[in-house]
Amino acid sequence: MNTNGYILIVEDSKTQAGQLEAILKPLGYSISIAYTGKDALTNLKEKKPVLVIADILMPEMDGYQVCRQIKSDEKYRDIPVILLTQLSDPKEVIKGLESGADDFISKPYNEEILLARIKTILGIRIKEGVLKKKINILIVEDSPTQAEQLKYLLEEQGYDVIIAGNGKDGIEAAKKSRPDLIIADILMPVMDGYTMAYEIKRDEALKKIPIILITSLLEKKDIVRKASVVADGFFTKPYDDAYLLTKIKTLILSQNDENKNWDINGIDVNFAGDRYVVKSNRRQILTFLLSTYENAVQQNHDLIIMQRELQIINEQLEEKVRERTEELQSSEENFRAISENAMEGIVIIGSKGEHLYANEMAAKITGYSGDELLKLNMKDVLPPDNLLVMKERLKERLEGLPRQSYPEITIIAKDGRRILIETTSSKTLWHGEAALIVIFRDISDRKRKEDELIKLAKLESLGILAGGIAHDFNNLLTGVIGNLSLAKMYCKPDDKICQILSEAEKASTNAKGLTYQLLTFAKGGAPVKKTISIVKLIKDATVFACRGSNTKCNFDVPEDIWAVDIDEGQINQVIYNMVINAEQSMPEGGSITVCIENASVKSENKYLIKEGEYVKVTISDTGAGITEENLSKIFDPYFTTKKEGSGLGLSTCYSIIKNHGGYITVDSKAGAGTTFYIYIPRSEKEISLEEIEAEGKLIPLSYLS
């Protein structure tokens, strides 16, 4: 048992600590184990070890922290520290070196290599007396940055450092300072490292100085060329700092060893077709060969490990690919099964906007077949303004931005219709390529219903206001008309003042028409219903409205039209207003077609119509039509495009039909005419014979005033 000290193992795993203890026993030192970093520092203070071997990954205090604590204390900083880790990240090595570690060994380690490296460190420690004197090292490096980095590393270890910028200056510096070691780059201006080393080894006063060459060259011929200039060792960039420092200490300690005789004649070496003459002593040859072999062994060892790891990874990847392929095939089958039964349209879009997949609902919404959609690009079904939005969203999603809703956009169906849709999209993979999955639904009906609800809310609010105004206005008119009648009693019929009063009375009476219109628009104008057949009323109102114009009237009316419960005057006003509007849209003349039919409305429809049976009245013209911008506003109170219009005509019609439990809507395009659709609920009563005969009478026009 070596009585010169002990080795301290710092390892939280009792199993691994025991294994390491067994490996180190042949060294002859006593072994002490600490299972935490704090325990290790306590043991350290009680008795100073010759070496500390610490695992990095430990609870509370890791190996880096243990090393820093040791190296920061003047009493213990000379204790060599070897760090053990399973991590292979180069950053971890750098972190270990920064903490002051003397060596860094990765798990799983080879026992022989581990013991050899520990012996080297312990051997250097035993010979530390040789290093008590100041060691001078000459750095020959044309890169100021690399020279300063190396200088800093060596000075941290207590060496004196001199820097020369090229081989020529390096020889001059060597003659002046007689360094204990020279570290030189190979590629330098003025004089390279090869030439410098050759000149130094020819100089009797300098030839015993060990030389380490550093290069990034890996050409095999250059290895022999290094030997030909009798270098004592070489490193390839980038090099491990700890390994370099160990090599430096070894060369310095062996500088005074025996067997330094030179072979004056040199040795002829043929390598790769070229001849070299190697002139060096045996120690230098052996040191160089060991250095070369050590580099080769290390690289070969790393390559073997890497090859094994790559083989394992490759096998794992092949298995993962096979499993993933099966998963994807199964996943795609499940996706297609779910997608084809979905109530929303689903499309998958490639990075260039091409359609890669479309489900049955997508085809139904757009009017294209599934095969047709797959031949189209995103730009074929989107208007230009919407295309720009979708192109930006496609780029954002493919770049990995999170899933989100789209604004509402418009698509163009196969028949040219514009359909408002709501979309949601997210990034996906389709046959291994990045793509975008878009789920969309047709919201045209929903938006239409929302607009209708808003319209009803507006009309209801304004109706209350209009009713109040009509009521107050009617009270005022009653007072005005009554006073006018009393005033006329105090004058003679042929008096001029009597004529003026009569005109005022007439104007006040006509103002009742406005009151009636306001009451009709408001809730106060509730219809006085009667069960009749609406056919003659509609025909008479249409013909009367077109009288004297160059507009032709066409009727399409079957014989079995259902009876309805209506206020004849109010419905007459609706038809009259509709026809007048149609006529005014055709100043050059045209035709108006009126169709009356029985219609059954189902519960699911695109309008706000209750399920049931209705008499449907369709009024179509061949006029200028209504722009898309104005189409949604025509039933709004006080909206008009006429210079002298009040804006109450169509809103009053809307209110009348609503108060009858019906519905009115419009379909129009600029330049393509306008069609109004009126739905009036079917009556549950039958029309009496007297009422049928009474239909022959024309409805008085006083209802229109």
Q: Given pLDDT bands bounded at 50, 70 and 90, which one contains residue 463?
A: low
Q: Given pLDDT bands bounded at 50, 70 and 90, which one contains residue 219?
A: low
Residues 691, 544, single domain; the answer is yes
pLDDT for residue 1: 47
pLDDT for residue 353: 83
pLDDT for residue 701: 37
Rounded Cα–Cα distance for residues 464 and 521 (Å): 9
Query: Which of 212, 221, 219, 214 lies closest to 238, judged by CA?
Result: 214
**pLDDT over 60 at 213, yes or no:** yes
| 185 neighbors 150 (Cβ within 8 angstroms) | no
The SS3 call for residue 401 is coil
pLDDT for residue 425: 80
| 532 neighbors 562 (Cβ within 8 angstroms) | no
| 252 neighbors 135 (Cβ within 8 angstroms) | yes
Residues 69, 207, single domain; the answer is no
pLDDT for residue 614: 94
pLDDT for residue 557: 93
pLDDT for residue 321: 74
Predicted confidence (pLDDT) per residue in 592-650, tens digit: 999 999 999 887 666 668 889 999 999 999 988 888 777 777 877 666 766 555 556 78
351 part of a folded domain: no
Cis peptide before 238 (omega within 30 of 0): yes
**pLDDT over 50 at 271, yes or no:** no
557 part of a folded domain: yes
Predicted confidence (pLDDT) per residue in 164-212, tens digit: 999 999 999 999 999 988 999 888 899 988 889 888 988 888 988 888 8
Residues 332, 394, single domain; the answer is no
355 part of a folded domain: no
Predicted confidence (pLDDT) per residue in 103-115, tens digit: 777 777 777 777 8
pLDDT for residue 595: 95
Rounded to an integer, the average pLDDT of 550-570 is 90
Lowest mean pLDDT among 19-33, 169-183, 289-303: 289-303
**pLDDT over 70 at 403, yes or no:** no
What phi, psi does 395 have (nearest 5°)?
-65, -40
Residues 548, 674, single domain; the answer is yes
Rounded Cα–Cα distance for residues 689 and 681 (Å): 21
Residues facing residue 531 across a β-bridge: 565
> What's the whole-number average pLDDT of the chain?
78
Lowest mean pLDDT among 33-37, 447-451, 452-456: 452-456
The CATH number covering residue 367 comes to 3.30.450.20
280 part of a folded domain: yes
Q: Which of 54-63, 119-128, 333-342, 460-469 has the highest mean predicted lDDT (pLDDT)?
A: 54-63
Rounded Cα–Cα distance for residues 292 and 233 (Å): 7
Residues facing residue 426 across a β-bridge: 437
Residues 307, 370, single domain; the answer is no
Residues 138, 118, single domain; the answer is no
Number of domains in the chain: 5
Task: Order the strands of the 663-668 sheet from edge to edge.
Answer: 551-556, 590-601, 612-621, 674-681, 663-668
pLDDT for residue 643: 57
**pLDDT over 80 at 304, yes or no:** no
Angstrom distances, CA of residue 458 to CA of 184, 193, 455, 546: 91, 93, 5, 32
**pLDDT over 70 at 222, yes or no:** no
- Which of residues 487 and 681 earns the better pLDDT score? 681
- Which of residues 27 and 11 earns the better pLDDT score? 11
DSSP codes joined into one string, 18-77: HHHHHHHGGG-EEEEEESSHHHHHHHHHHS--SEEEEES--SSS-HHHHHHHHHTSTTTT
Written as one letter, the residue type at 413 is A
Boundary-marking domain end, from 385, 414, 440: 440
The CATH number covering residue 240 comes to 3.40.50.2300
Q: How many residues does the chain have?
A: 705
| 633 neighbors 644 (Cβ within 8 angstroms) | no
Q: Given pLDDT bands bounded at 50, 70 and 90, which one contains residue 465?
A: low
Lowest mean pLDDT among 584-588, 636-640, 689-693: 689-693
Rounded to an integer, the average pLDDT of 349-360 is 86
Q: Given pLDDT bands bounded at 50, 70 and 90, which one contains residue 272?
A: very low
Rounded Cα–Cα distance for residues 186 and 168 (Å): 13
The SS3 call for residue 105 is strand
Q: Which residues of 145-158 are buried (b: 16+ CB within 10 A; e: fewer)?
A: eebeebbebbeeee
Lowest mean pLDDT among 402-416, 644-658, 686-700: 686-700
Predicted confidence (pLDDT) per residue in 312-340, tens digit: 887 888 788 777 777 767 777 777 888 88
Residues 384, 314, single domain; the answer is no
Query: Which of 181, 186, 294 lies closest to 240, judged by CA?
Result: 294
Any alpha helices (H) in 555-614, and if so which ranges? 568-584
| 423 neighbors 332 (Cβ within 8 angstroms) | no
Residues 426, 459, single domain; the answer is no
**pLDDT over 50 at 704, yes or no:** no
Residues 614, 672, single domain; the answer is yes
pLDDT for residue 700: 38
The two three-digit tokens of residue 325, written as one number: 């392929």
348 part of a folded domain: no
Residues 380, 502, single domain; the answer is no
**pLDDT over 90 at 223, yes or no:** no
Residues 304, 173, single domain; the answer is yes
Residues 221, 279, single domain; the answer is yes
Q: What is the dihedral of CA 440, 442, 448, 451, to 10 degrees?
A: 0
354 part of a folded domain: no
349 part of a folded domain: no
| 386 neighbors 396 (Cβ within 8 angstroms) | no
The SS3 call for residue 168 is helix
615 part of a folded domain: yes
Cis peptide before 108 (omega within 30 of 0): yes
Lowest mean pLDDT among 250-254, 493-497, 501-505: 250-254
Boundary-marking domain end, from 129, 148, 179: 129
The two three-digit tokens of residue 289, written as one number: 């060969």
- What's the sign of the alpha-carbon dihedral 572, 575, 578, 582? negative
**pLDDT over 70 at 270, yes or no:** no
pLDDT for residue 522: 58
Boundary-marking domain end, from 497, 521, 545: 521
The SS3 call for residue 286 is helix
Give the distance, in angstroms, between the CA of residue 588 and the centroid of all CA atoms in the same chain.
58
The two three-digit tokens of residue 113, written as one number: 């290599």
- Which of residues 516 and 568 earns the better pLDDT score? 568
Residues facing residue 554 across a β-bridge: 593
Q: Given pLDDT bands bounded at 50, 70 and 90, which one contains residue 467?
A: low
Domain span at residue 288 reads 133-339
pLDDT for residue 435: 84
The CATH number covering residue 678 comes to 3.30.565.10
| % helix, strand, coil for the chain, step of 5 | 45, 20, 30
Q: Residue 193, exposed/middle/buried by CB under 10 A (0-12, 13-18, 19+)?
A: buried
Lowest mean pLDDT among 161-170, 341-350, 472-481, 494-503: 472-481
Rounded to an integer, the average pLDDT of 267-284 is 49
